[in-house]
Amino acid sequence: MKKKNKTGQAYRDASVLASNVSSAHSFSKHKIFLVSLVGVIVTAYFSNQIADFIKTSVIGFPEHAPYDGVVYPIQKVPDFVHLKSDKWKSEYAAFTDKELVSLPYYDPEKLALSTDSLVWSKPEDDKTRNLKITYSVPYMGNYLLDGKEYAGSHAAVDIKVPSGTPIYQTLAPRLPFIPLTAI
């Protein structure tokens, strides 16, 4: 705001001058901050690119066979599709080798298929039907037996098996031998 002194010359009020200096200083601070921020982002981007290049060109990857110590917890299940009704409530020991099949491979796409689309006595559809019966509730599924993952909140996979089915450990750990006398 301009005021006039005794001689009539215009001058600025000190508060106006102070605010102008403050805003100029503030802009300068923001400018430095923005330039620094852009510099950090650009540096991070390019250093990540360079690090990835170094990892792939210098370090390389070890060559070895894939880990094969993981197994399904269940080896054999009844062939539910071809099971006679008198065996529906039987224990595992009552099944013959012909009535048992290997645990089906967990396939979310096949589990989500509608049973209405499956044809009876068609071998591939019978396998899918057996898969749907064996894995009654898929990962993050619901209890509507629709076979859809992420349709519910069940954070596991239910595997339908008769009572007495042998359960195996899923990992092959390597533990040191500890004699019983040491315990």
Domain boundaries, the chain: 2-59, 71-172
Phi, psi for 88 (deg, rounded to 5): -55, -35
Residues 88 and 55: their CA atoms lie apart, in Å, by 56
Percent of the chain with pLDDT over 90: 42
Residues 34 and 37: their CA atoms lie apart, in Å, by 5
pLDDT of the residue at 83: 92
* pTM as predicted: 0.56
Q: For the segment 72-114, what is each residue's pLDDT rounded down to a tens digit?
A: 889 999 999 999 999 999 999 999 999 999 999 999 999 999 9
